[in-house]
């Protein structure tokens, strides 16, 4: 297995896979050699994680300098950590040696360019894509065409075209794919599916979902200064398919999420979790329409807050659903089914049925029926759905046993990603939009249609 993208989240995911006995890490790749400006969610996060992996209490503190505190928003500062391909390589080699009881083991190859990795490592079976959003599609498609199984960080893609191409290439090549959407494999999602299928709230036609994101800067202008490119960064490779612009630390690491050319904003970042749950519970198909309202935004970045409404098509005997998304601290209007004195939690998900509602946490945990009278007569339905060993294990087991199938494979996840991309497109254009998933046709302005498949830099098209 190779790990392409070894920043903060890429490192976390790599450590999860290293612990699996079937996995042998052989290569890492990142446009950054090593840098100390990555975001830890807690002091010593990276060092403690490696200590746990290697079962040691010493060494590796250099991964967690913890200073300076990195400002994400005016109210959120997190400690600095060290990431990049060189730290990842050192961790892999230490782990491989420990597993084999050796002083040293097979060396871990290190690359700045994923294309060189795919060409050079001949016995590679699978890759984990942990890059920023704008590189997900180009890396995943190249890996699939090379015959490699792919695990891709969420959101699956940044544009409607990318989502469709990733699904098409997955189908053509027959490799095992999975998007890093852990809730799809959770007990919470299975319970919600069983509740709704058992008629707990009747037919569902509306869903409300709200998030505190973004936790990174949005609604900001393009920086005007052009500081020198850090020695450890290959800026051209980091940009990938995105249009050339001068380097600036406002773009990376982590803070790329708020920029239109690099990330997918709050809806793409967090909606991929909750909307995946909604799609599974309600058996939905592609999006039909989208419209949005939002706070002021500059052309190059997503707004600080938005409200997006999606019309989602049904599959089989289900019903079409209206999905309302709120971010930036916005919350839904008060609903009549709320119990007396009840208020919305900071984040949540509400399924509105013809005979009641289900209120749960952001991705479906702690489900409770509304109004209170529904809870008094409710009986938990029997477990009818197969349970999952976990999102990462699903992928590994499906590679080893091709009779198995992953839940968040690229073909399923493309439908969810289309909805996210259409919602973002309504935010970027300020227009109500209509989408025909079968023909990939968008009804909207020429500007909106151009966003379906925006051009990539020469040499980066998929």
Q: Which domains does the chain have, with CATH numbers?
A: 2-182 (3.40.50.720), 183-216+263-384+411-450 (3.30.360.10)
209 three-class SS: strand
The answer to whether the CB of 73 falls within 8 A of the CB of 215 is yes
Mean pLDDT by 10 residues, the chain (462 residues): 98 97 96 98 98 95 97 93 98 91 74 98 97 98 98 98 98 98 97 96 96 95 97 98 98 97 97 96 95 96 98 88 97 89 94 95 94 87 96 98 97 97 97 95 95 96 96
Cα(312)–Cα(139) distance, integer angstroms: 29
**Phi–psi pair at 223, nearest 5 degrees:** -65, 145
Task: For residue 39, give the nearest of 216, 157, 182 by alpha carbon.
Answer: 216
The answer to whether the CB of 4 falls within 8 A of the CB of 114 is yes
| Two structure tokens written together for 63 | 């991964």
Which pLDDT score is estimated for 49? 98
Which pLDDT score is estimated for 340? 84
The answer to whether the CB of 81 falls within 8 A of the CB of 63 is yes
| Two structure tokens written together for 162 | 């990318």
**How far is C-alpha 55 from the geometric centre of its chain's CA atoms?**
30
User: What's the first-to-final CA gap in the chain, in angstroms?
Assistant: 23
- C-alpha pair distances (Å), 204 with each of 110, 123, 276, 322, 372: 50, 49, 16, 9, 18
Give residue 208's region: left, alpha or beta (phi > 0; psi -120 to 50).
Answer: beta
Bridge partners of 209, per DSSP, are 325, 349
Q: What is the CA radius of gyration of the chain?
A: 22
Which pLDDT score is estimated for 336? 87
Which pLDDT score is estimated for 316? 78
The answer to whether the CB of 349 falls within 8 A of the CB of 207 is yes
């Amino acid at each position: 297995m190779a790990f392409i993208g070894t920043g903060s989240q890429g490192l976390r995911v790599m450590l999860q896979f290293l612990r699996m006995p079937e996995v042998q890490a052989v290569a890492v790749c990142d446009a950054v050699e090593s840098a100390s400006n990555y975001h830890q969610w807690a002091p010593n996060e990276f060092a403690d994680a490696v200590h746990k992996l290697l079962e040691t209490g010493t060494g590796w503190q250099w991964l967690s300098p913890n200073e300076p505190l990195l400002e994400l928003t005016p109210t959120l500062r997190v400690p600095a950590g060290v990431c990049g391909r060189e730290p990842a390589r050192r961790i892999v080699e230490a782990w491989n040696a420990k597993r084999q009881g050796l002083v040293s083991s097979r060396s871990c190859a290190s690359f700045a360019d994923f294309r060189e990795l795919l060409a050079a490592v001949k016995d590679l079976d699978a890759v984990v894509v942990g890059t920023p959003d704008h590189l997900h599609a180009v890396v995943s498609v190249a890996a699939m065409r090379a015959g490699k199984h792919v695990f891709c960080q969420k959101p699956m893609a940044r544009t409607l075209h990318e989502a469709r191409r990733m699904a098409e290439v997955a189908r053509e090549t027959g490799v095992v794919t999975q998007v890093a959407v852990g809730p799809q494999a959770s007990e919470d999602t299975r319970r919600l599916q069983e509740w709704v299928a058992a008629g707990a709230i009747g037919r569902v036609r509306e869903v409300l979902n709200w998030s505190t994101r973004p936790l990174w800067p949005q609604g900001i202008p393009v920086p005007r200064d052009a500081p020198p490119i850090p020695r450890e960064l290959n800026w051209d490779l980091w940009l990938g398919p995105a249009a050339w612009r001068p380097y600036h630390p406002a773009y990376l690491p982590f803070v790329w999420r708020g920029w239109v050319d690099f990330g997918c904003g709050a809806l793409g970042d967090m909606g991929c979790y909750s909307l995946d749950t909604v799609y599974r519970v309600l058996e939905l198909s592609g999006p039909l329409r989208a419209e949005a309202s939002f706070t002021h935004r500059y052309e190059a970045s997503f707004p600080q807050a938005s409200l997006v409404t999606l019309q989602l098509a049904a599959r089989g005997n289900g019903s079409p659903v209206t999905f309302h998304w709120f971010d930036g601290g916005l919350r839904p209007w008060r609903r009549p089914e709320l119990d007396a004195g009840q208020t919305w939690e900071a984040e949540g998900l509400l399924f509105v049925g013809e005979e009641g509602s289900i209120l749960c946490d952001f991705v479906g945990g702690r489900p409770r029926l509304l109004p209170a009278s529904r809870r008094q007569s409710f009986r938990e339905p029997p477990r009818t759905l197969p349970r999952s060993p976990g999102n990462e294990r699903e992928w590994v087991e499906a590679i080893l046993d091709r009779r198995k199938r992953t839940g968040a494979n690229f073909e399923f996840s493309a439908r969810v990603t289309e909805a996210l991309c259409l919602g973002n497109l309504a935010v970027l254009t300020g227009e109500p939009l209509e989408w025909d998933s079968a023909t990939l046709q968008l009804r909207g302005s020429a500007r909106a249609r151009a966003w379906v498949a925006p051009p990539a830099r020469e040499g980066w098209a998929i």
